């Protein structure tokens, strides 16, 4: 069965992050992608210039209209920019009783622009985290959620993952990309066991949307995997290959996007059509 996967997030006109990156990731991994917009973001590879907030009742209308018609196998939540929208999303998810919810607590863009209002953080802690099957914060986001300094060691990551689990999610994947090590390890905690996912650190400027892509990949894969650990492992492998393929793209002058379709495009051979055959 092809899973139907929904992203609830903000936009990125440059296509590297947000809803656009999520839909690309779902498609690349064989899931049918759907979207609910929480914010319209004027953004490119260098930064964010404006954000147009979508009213909470319209976010709810998008969700309700979709759920009334389509089976939703998994939901990925990205940018939730206001407290009112965060609360509304939590309310509608409770109403529709979604089994798989992957929450990527997007707070700051790769450019450094803040994407989450301060009053939304507490709503995220109280209402969204307990609904999540998995949360995927990076180290600075973990610090914000726990209201303490971000962890800066592997042992500190393990402690933070346990503390984040105590806030209510079913699983925690704490991403270690901000460590200053040669590798980029992630830590998965399911309430009992800690699983380490070592990964090579890819040297590239095309890192825009990596968090969106990883969480979207997990959402696309989890309905077809036997465990959370296997979905995370496969999602991380996909992201590594997308990072490695990113240098084939020439998009923007800042942090470019990863190559979501690295596997598909590498297999596609383009045959030029003779001009006399073009109608």
Q: Which residues are catalytic?
A: 175, 207, 209-212
The Cα 49–Cα 51 span in angstroms is 7
Q: Is the distance from CB of 7 to CB of 101 less than 8 angstroms?
A: no
The Cα 116–Cα 83 span in angstroms is 9
Can you tell me whether residue 175 is helix, strand or coil?
A: strand
DSSP 111: T
Q: Which two tokens stand for residue 80?
A: 């939730």
Q: How far is CA 47 from each of CA 56, 66, 81, 111, 178, rounded to the nearest angstrom?
A: 25, 31, 16, 5, 19
Cβ burial of 267 (10 Å; 0-12, 13-18, 19+) is: exposed
């Amino acid at each position: 069965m092809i899973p139907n996967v929904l992203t609830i997030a903000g936009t990125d006109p440059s296509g590297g992050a947000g809803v656009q990156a999520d839909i690309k990731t779902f498609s690349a991994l064989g899931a049918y992608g759907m979207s609910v917009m929480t914010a319209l973001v004027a953004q490119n590879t260098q930064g964010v210039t404006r954000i147009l907030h979508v009213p909470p009742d319209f976010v709810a209308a998008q969700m309700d209209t979709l759920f009334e018609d389509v089976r939703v196998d998994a939901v990925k939540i990205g940018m939730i920019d206001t407290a009112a929208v965060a609360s509304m999303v939590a309310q509608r998810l409770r109403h529709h009783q979604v089994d798989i919810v992957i929450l990527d607590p997007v707070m700051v863009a790769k450019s450094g622009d803040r994407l989450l209002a301060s009053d939304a953080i507490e709503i995220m802690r109280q209402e969204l985290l307990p609904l999540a099957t998995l949360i995927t914060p990076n180290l600075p986001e973990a610090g914000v959620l726990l209201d303490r300094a971000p962890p800066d060691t592997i042992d500190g990551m393990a402690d933070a993952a346990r503390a984040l689990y105590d806030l209510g999610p079913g699983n925690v994947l704490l991403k270690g990309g901000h460590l200053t090590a040669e590798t980029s390890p992630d830590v998965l905690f399911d309430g009992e066991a800690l699983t380490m996912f070592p990964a090579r650190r890819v040297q590239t400027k095309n890192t825009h949307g990596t968090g969106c892509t990883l969480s979207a990949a997990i959402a696309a894969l989890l309905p077809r995997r036997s465990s959370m650990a296997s979905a995370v492992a496969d999602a991380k492998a996909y992201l590594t290959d997308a990072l490695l393929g990113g240098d084939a793209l020439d998009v923007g002058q800042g942090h470019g996007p990863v190559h979501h379709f690295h596997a598909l495009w590498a297999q596609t051979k383009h045959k030029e059509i003779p001009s006399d055959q073009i109608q």
